[in-house]
Amino acid sequence: MALAAATSSNIANIANTENLDTSLNVKRLSPVLGAEVTSFDVAGCTDAQFEQLLTAWDCAHGLLVLRDVHISPAEHIAFARRFGEPAMGTADPHSILGHYWHPEFPAIYRVSNKVINGVPQGREDAGTYWHTDGTHGNTPSRCSLLYGLELPPCGGDTIFASLSTSYEALSDTMKRLLQGLTAVHTLAKTLADGSQNSYAKELVGKADLAAAKTATHPVVRYHARTGHRSLFVNPGFTSHIVGMHSAESKALLEFLFAHTTQQEFLYRHQWRRNDLVIWDNTCTMHYAVSDYKAYGVRYMHRVSVKGETPVAA
Ligand code: SIN
Protein backbone atom coordinates (compact mmCIF):
# COMPACT_ATOMS: atom_id res chain seq x y z
CA MET A 1 0.00 0.00 0.00
CA ALA A 2 1.28 3.46 -0.78
CA LEU A 3 1.69 5.71 2.22
CA ALA A 4 -0.33 8.44 0.54
CA ALA A 5 -3.41 6.25 0.76
CA ALA A 6 -2.81 5.65 4.44
CA THR A 7 -2.18 9.24 5.45
CA SER A 8 -4.58 10.67 7.97
CA SER A 9 -5.73 14.25 7.96
CA ASN A 10 -3.16 15.28 10.55
CA ILE A 11 -0.35 14.81 8.06
CA ALA A 12 -2.20 15.95 4.97
CA ASN A 13 -0.32 19.24 4.97
CA ILE A 14 3.16 17.70 4.83
CA ALA A 15 5.22 19.03 1.99
CA ASN A 16 6.04 16.70 -0.91
CA THR A 17 3.19 14.27 -0.40
CA GLU A 18 2.39 14.64 -4.09
CA ASN A 19 5.77 13.08 -4.87
CA LEU A 20 5.06 9.84 -3.03
CA ASP A 21 6.05 6.92 -5.17
CA THR A 22 3.51 4.15 -5.31
CA SER A 23 6.19 1.55 -6.05
CA LEU A 24 7.56 1.86 -2.52
CA ASN A 25 6.13 -0.80 -0.30
CA VAL A 26 5.01 1.37 2.61
CA LYS A 27 2.51 0.68 5.36
CA ARG A 28 1.62 3.01 8.19
CA LEU A 29 2.47 1.54 11.61
CA SER A 30 0.44 3.89 13.78
CA PRO A 31 -1.86 6.87 13.23
CA VAL A 32 0.68 9.28 14.70
CA LEU A 33 4.11 8.31 13.43
CA GLY A 34 6.01 5.48 11.86
CA ALA A 35 5.77 3.54 8.62
CA GLU A 36 7.11 0.17 7.60
CA VAL A 37 8.95 -0.27 4.32
CA THR A 38 9.46 -3.75 2.93
CA SER A 39 11.66 -4.98 0.08
CA PHE A 40 13.79 -1.85 0.02
CA ASP A 41 17.28 -2.38 -1.37
CA VAL A 42 19.29 -0.45 1.22
CA ALA A 43 22.70 -1.22 -0.24
CA GLY A 44 21.73 -0.85 -3.89
CA CYS A 45 19.04 1.84 -3.99
CA THR A 46 19.22 4.57 -6.61
CA ASP A 47 19.14 8.29 -5.81
CA ALA A 48 15.53 8.42 -7.00
CA GLN A 49 14.53 5.54 -4.74
CA PHE A 50 16.31 7.20 -1.84
CA GLU A 51 14.38 10.44 -2.49
CA GLN A 52 11.14 8.46 -2.40
CA LEU A 53 12.19 6.97 0.91
CA LEU A 54 12.88 10.45 2.29
CA THR A 55 9.42 11.57 1.25
CA ALA A 56 7.87 8.55 2.94
CA TRP A 57 9.94 9.36 6.03
CA ASP A 58 8.57 12.90 6.12
CA CYS A 59 5.02 11.63 5.67
CA ALA A 60 5.52 9.18 8.52
CA HIS A 61 6.55 12.03 10.82
CA GLY A 62 10.19 11.05 10.81
CA LEU A 63 10.13 7.34 11.61
CA LEU A 64 10.68 4.49 9.15
CA VAL A 65 11.13 0.80 9.84
CA LEU A 66 12.88 -0.99 7.00
CA ARG A 67 12.19 -4.72 7.33
CA ASP A 68 14.38 -7.69 6.59
CA VAL A 69 17.49 -5.66 5.81
CA HIS A 70 20.73 -7.55 5.26
CA ILE A 71 23.68 -5.17 5.29
CA SER A 72 27.29 -5.21 6.42
CA PRO A 73 28.63 -2.52 8.76
CA ALA A 74 30.20 -0.78 5.75
CA GLU A 75 26.85 -0.79 3.90
CA HIS A 76 25.11 0.52 7.01
CA ILE A 77 27.52 3.45 7.14
CA ALA A 78 27.30 4.05 3.39
CA PHE A 79 23.51 4.19 3.60
CA ALA A 80 23.65 6.57 6.58
CA ARG A 81 25.98 8.77 4.53
CA ARG A 82 23.10 9.42 2.14
CA PHE A 83 21.46 11.36 5.01
CA GLY A 84 24.63 13.28 5.87
CA GLU A 85 27.97 12.87 7.55
CA PRO A 86 28.03 10.08 10.14
CA ALA A 87 29.22 10.97 13.64
CA MET A 88 32.52 9.22 14.35
CA GLY A 89 33.51 7.84 17.71
CA THR A 90 37.16 8.57 17.50
CA ALA A 91 36.89 12.02 15.92
CA ASP A 92 34.81 13.59 18.68
CA PRO A 93 36.92 14.83 21.59
CA HIS A 94 33.77 14.99 23.73
CA SER A 95 32.89 11.39 22.98
CA ILE A 96 31.59 9.79 26.15
CA LEU A 97 31.66 6.07 26.79
CA GLY A 98 33.83 5.82 23.69
CA HIS A 99 34.72 2.16 24.08
CA TYR A 100 31.32 1.13 22.73
CA TRP A 101 32.14 2.37 19.24
CA HIS A 102 32.83 -0.52 16.87
CA PRO A 103 36.60 -1.20 16.86
CA GLU A 104 36.75 -1.50 13.06
CA PHE A 105 33.94 0.88 12.08
CA PRO A 106 34.11 4.02 14.25
CA ALA A 107 30.82 5.33 12.83
CA ILE A 108 28.99 2.41 14.43
CA TYR A 109 27.97 2.65 18.06
CA ARG A 110 27.11 -0.68 19.63
CA VAL A 111 24.09 -0.89 21.90
CA SER A 112 23.89 -4.22 23.69
CA ASN A 113 23.69 -6.22 26.87
CA LYS A 114 25.94 -8.86 25.30
CA VAL A 115 29.16 -9.71 27.14
CA ILE A 116 31.85 -12.01 25.73
CA ASN A 117 34.60 -13.19 28.07
CA GLY A 118 33.73 -10.38 30.44
CA VAL A 119 33.95 -7.74 27.70
CA PRO A 120 30.74 -5.76 27.03
CA GLN A 121 29.97 -5.80 23.31
CA GLY A 122 28.00 -2.60 23.46
CA ARG A 123 26.50 -0.07 25.76
CA GLU A 124 23.80 -1.60 27.90
CA ASP A 125 20.86 0.66 28.67
CA ALA A 126 21.65 3.24 26.01
CA GLY A 127 18.79 5.67 25.80
CA THR A 128 16.61 4.15 28.51
CA TYR A 129 14.95 7.51 29.11
CA TRP A 130 13.13 10.00 26.91
CA HIS A 131 15.59 11.91 24.75
CA THR A 132 16.42 13.16 21.33
CA ASP A 133 19.92 12.24 20.21
CA GLY A 134 22.62 14.80 20.83
CA THR A 135 20.57 17.83 21.85
CA HIS A 136 23.28 18.66 24.38
CA GLY A 137 25.44 19.61 21.38
CA ASN A 138 25.17 22.76 19.27
CA THR A 139 24.38 20.77 16.15
CA PRO A 140 22.22 17.86 17.33
CA SER A 141 22.13 14.72 15.23
CA ARG A 142 19.92 14.89 12.13
CA CYS A 143 18.89 11.27 12.38
CA SER A 144 19.91 7.87 13.65
CA LEU A 145 19.81 4.49 11.95
CA LEU A 146 19.54 1.59 14.39
CA TYR A 147 19.94 -1.95 13.07
CA GLY A 148 18.67 -4.92 15.06
CA LEU A 149 21.11 -7.80 14.75
CA GLU A 150 20.19 -9.92 17.78
CA LEU A 151 16.98 -9.60 19.72
CA PRO A 152 15.49 -11.17 22.81
CA PRO A 153 12.35 -13.27 22.31
CA CYS A 154 10.35 -10.49 23.95
CA GLY A 155 10.92 -7.01 25.29
CA GLY A 156 13.57 -4.49 24.34
CA ASP A 157 11.09 -2.29 22.45
CA THR A 158 11.82 1.31 21.54
CA ILE A 159 9.09 3.91 22.01
CA PHE A 160 9.00 6.94 19.74
CA ALA A 161 7.15 10.23 20.24
CA SER A 162 6.12 12.63 17.50
CA LEU A 163 7.10 16.11 18.60
CA SER A 164 5.42 17.74 15.62
CA THR A 165 2.05 16.13 16.34
CA SER A 166 2.26 17.07 20.01
CA TYR A 167 3.19 20.63 19.02
CA GLU A 168 0.15 20.85 16.74
CA ALA A 169 -2.12 19.66 19.55
CA LEU A 170 -1.22 22.65 21.74
CA SER A 171 -3.56 25.61 22.04
CA ASP A 172 -2.75 28.71 20.02
CA THR A 173 -2.15 30.51 23.31
CA MET A 174 0.48 27.98 24.38
CA LYS A 175 2.05 28.09 20.92
CA ARG A 176 2.36 31.85 21.22
CA LEU A 177 3.93 31.51 24.68
CA LEU A 178 6.55 29.08 23.35
CA GLN A 179 7.34 31.16 20.28
CA GLY A 180 10.81 32.66 20.63
CA LEU A 181 11.71 30.76 23.80
CA THR A 182 15.02 28.93 24.04
CA ALA A 183 16.07 26.13 26.37
CA VAL A 184 19.37 24.83 27.67
CA HIS A 185 20.27 21.18 27.01
CA THR A 186 23.01 19.43 28.92
CA LEU A 187 24.26 15.95 29.53
CA ALA A 188 24.56 16.88 33.18
CA LYS A 189 20.80 17.39 33.46
CA THR A 190 20.04 13.83 34.38
CA LEU A 191 22.39 14.05 37.35
CA ALA A 192 20.86 17.28 38.55
CA ASP A 193 17.48 15.52 38.45
CA GLY A 194 18.82 12.62 40.45
CA SER A 195 17.80 10.36 37.59
CA GLN A 196 19.01 6.81 37.56
CA ASN A 197 19.38 6.61 33.80
CA SER A 198 22.49 4.93 32.53
CA TYR A 199 24.31 8.07 31.37
CA ALA A 200 24.00 9.37 34.88
CA LYS A 201 25.19 6.14 36.44
CA GLU A 202 28.18 5.73 34.14
CA LEU A 203 29.20 9.35 34.39
CA VAL A 204 29.07 9.85 38.11
CA GLY A 205 32.44 10.92 39.36
CA LYS A 206 34.02 10.92 35.93
CA ALA A 207 35.84 13.73 34.22
CA ASP A 208 33.47 13.24 31.28
CA LEU A 209 30.82 15.05 33.23
CA ALA A 210 32.94 18.18 33.59
CA ALA A 211 33.38 18.17 29.82
CA ALA A 212 29.71 17.50 29.21
CA LYS A 213 28.43 19.62 26.39
CA THR A 214 25.75 22.23 26.91
CA ALA A 215 23.76 23.90 24.16
CA THR A 216 20.89 26.33 23.84
CA HIS A 217 18.15 25.61 21.29
CA PRO A 218 14.76 27.01 20.31
CA VAL A 219 11.87 25.38 22.16
CA VAL A 220 9.96 25.17 18.89
CA ARG A 221 11.97 24.03 15.92
CA TYR A 222 11.39 24.40 12.21
CA HIS A 223 11.82 21.37 9.95
CA ALA A 224 13.51 22.43 6.72
CA ARG A 225 12.10 19.58 4.59
CA THR A 226 8.50 19.44 5.78
CA GLY A 227 8.04 23.03 6.91
CA HIS A 228 6.56 21.62 10.13
CA ARG A 229 7.08 23.00 13.60
CA SER A 230 7.92 20.67 16.41
CA LEU A 231 8.68 20.89 20.10
CA PHE A 232 12.40 20.59 20.74
CA VAL A 233 12.70 19.79 24.43
CA ASN A 234 13.23 16.38 26.00
CA PRO A 235 13.35 15.06 29.57
CA GLY A 236 16.81 13.55 29.10
CA PHE A 237 18.76 16.66 28.28
CA THR A 238 16.66 19.83 28.58
CA SER A 239 17.48 21.48 31.90
CA HIS A 240 15.70 24.83 31.80
CA ILE A 241 14.07 27.54 29.75
CA VAL A 242 16.17 30.65 29.30
CA GLY A 243 14.90 33.84 30.93
CA MET A 244 12.41 32.23 33.31
CA HIS A 245 12.51 31.84 37.06
CA SER A 246 13.41 28.29 37.92
CA ALA A 247 9.91 27.46 39.21
CA GLU A 248 8.37 28.81 35.99
CA SER A 249 10.80 26.89 33.83
CA LYS A 250 10.28 23.70 35.82
CA ALA A 251 6.49 23.95 35.58
CA LEU A 252 6.55 24.65 31.86
CA LEU A 253 9.00 21.84 31.10
CA GLU A 254 7.06 19.41 33.28
CA PHE A 255 3.93 20.28 31.34
CA LEU A 256 5.70 19.84 28.00
CA PHE A 257 7.27 16.51 29.01
CA ALA A 258 3.89 15.18 30.22
CA HIS A 259 2.21 16.52 27.09
CA THR A 260 4.70 15.04 24.60
CA THR A 261 4.70 11.59 26.20
CA GLN A 262 0.94 11.05 26.12
CA GLN A 263 -0.04 7.74 24.51
CA GLU A 264 -1.69 9.53 21.61
CA PHE A 265 1.66 10.84 20.38
CA LEU A 266 3.59 7.56 20.66
CA TYR A 267 4.46 4.52 18.61
CA ARG A 268 6.03 1.51 20.35
CA HIS A 269 8.33 -0.47 18.11
CA GLN A 270 8.59 -4.21 18.72
CA TRP A 271 11.81 -5.14 17.04
CA ARG A 272 12.25 -7.93 14.53
CA ARG A 273 15.67 -9.19 13.60
CA ASN A 274 17.12 -7.23 10.66
CA ASP A 275 14.91 -4.18 11.19
CA LEU A 276 16.68 -0.97 10.26
CA VAL A 277 14.89 1.84 12.07
CA ILE A 278 15.54 5.41 10.98
CA TRP A 279 14.33 8.28 13.11
CA ASP A 280 14.44 11.99 12.52
CA ASN A 281 15.94 13.76 15.52
CA THR A 282 14.44 17.05 14.36
CA CYS A 283 10.91 16.05 15.25
CA THR A 284 10.95 12.89 17.42
CA MET A 285 12.24 11.63 20.71
CA HIS A 286 12.58 8.04 21.87
CA TYR A 287 12.89 5.75 24.88
CA ALA A 288 14.55 2.33 24.92
CA VAL A 289 12.64 -0.01 27.23
CA SER A 290 15.06 -1.88 29.46
CA ASP A 291 12.89 -4.85 30.36
CA TYR A 292 14.39 -7.74 28.43
CA LYS A 293 17.68 -8.68 30.09
CA ALA A 294 16.40 -11.81 31.81
CA TYR A 295 15.17 -13.04 28.43
CA GLY A 296 18.17 -12.80 26.16
CA VAL A 297 20.61 -10.79 24.17
CA ARG A 298 19.88 -7.55 22.34
CA TYR A 299 22.63 -6.42 19.99
CA MET A 300 22.20 -3.35 17.81
CA HIS A 301 24.38 -1.21 15.55
CA ARG A 302 23.61 2.49 15.47
CA VAL A 303 24.90 5.12 13.08
CA SER A 304 24.01 8.72 13.91
CA VAL A 305 24.18 11.41 11.27
CA LYS A 306 25.42 14.88 12.10
CA GLY A 307 22.89 17.68 12.02
CA GLU A 308 22.78 21.43 11.79
CA THR A 309 22.05 24.28 14.16
CA PRO A 310 18.30 24.09 14.91
CA VAL A 311 16.27 26.89 13.37
CA ALA A 312 13.54 28.52 15.46
CA ALA A 313 10.04 28.20 14.05
C1 SIN B 1 19.25 4.92 21.54
O2 SIN B 1 18.74 5.74 22.27
O3 SIN B 1 19.93 5.25 20.59
C4 SIN B 1 19.03 3.44 21.79
C5 SIN B 1 17.68 3.02 21.36
C6 SIN B 1 17.45 1.56 21.57
O7 SIN B 1 18.37 0.83 21.93
O8 SIN B 1 16.32 1.13 21.36
What string of DSSP letters covers 74-89? Answer: HHHHHHHHTTSPBP-T
Give catalytic residues, as residue numbers: 131, 133, 286, 302
- Tell me what pLDDT residue 114 has: 94
- Tell me what pLDDT residue 89 has: 79
Phi-psi domain of 79 (left: phi exceeds 0; alpha: psi -120 through 50; beta: other): alpha
Nearest Cα residue to 283 out of 57, 29, 85 = 57
Q: Which atom of ligand 1 is nearest to the CA of 288?
A: 8
Of the residues 146, 270, 293, which should be mutated to test ligand 1's pocket, given the most ligand atoms within 8 Å of the CB? 146
Rounded distance from Cα 179 to ligand 1 centre (Å): 30
Give residue 308's identity as a one-letter amino acid code.
E
Rounded distance from Cα 177 to ligand 1 centre (Å): 32
What is the pLDDT tens value at each position of the chain, 313 positions in all?
Answer: 233 322 333 333 333 344 444 579 999 999 999 999 999 999 999 999 999 999 999 999 999 999 999 999 999 999 999 999 999 876 454 555 677 899 899 999 999 999 999 988 998 888 899 999 999 999 999 999 999 999 999 999 999 999 999 999 999 999 999 999 999 999 877 655 555 555 555 655 555 566 667 899 999 999 999 999 999 999 999 999 999 999 999 999 999 999 999 999 999 999 999 999 999 999 999 999 999 999 999 999 999 999 999 999 9
Rounded distance from Cα 171 to ligand 1 centre (Å): 31
**Residue of the CA atom closest to atom 7 of ligand 1:** 288
Q: Is the CB of 111 under 6 A from ligand 1?
A: yes
- Tell me what pLDDT residue 213 has: 76
Other Cβ atoms within 10 Å of 243 Cβ, number: 10
Which fold is adopted by the domain 8-305?
Answer: Double-stranded beta-helix (3.60.130)
Three-state secondary structure call for residue 276: strand
CA atoms within 13 A on the CB side of 53: 25
- Tell me what pLDDT residue 197 has: 54
**Residue of the CA atom closest to atom 5 of ligand 1:** 288
Contact 162, 33 (CB under 8 A): yes
Rounded distance from Cα 65 to ligand 1 centre (Å): 14
* Torsion sign (Cα): 21, 22, 25, 27: positive
- Tell me what pLDDT residue 208 has: 59
- In whole angstroms, give the CA distance from residue 21 to residue 155: 34
What is the pTM assigned to this prediction? 0.89
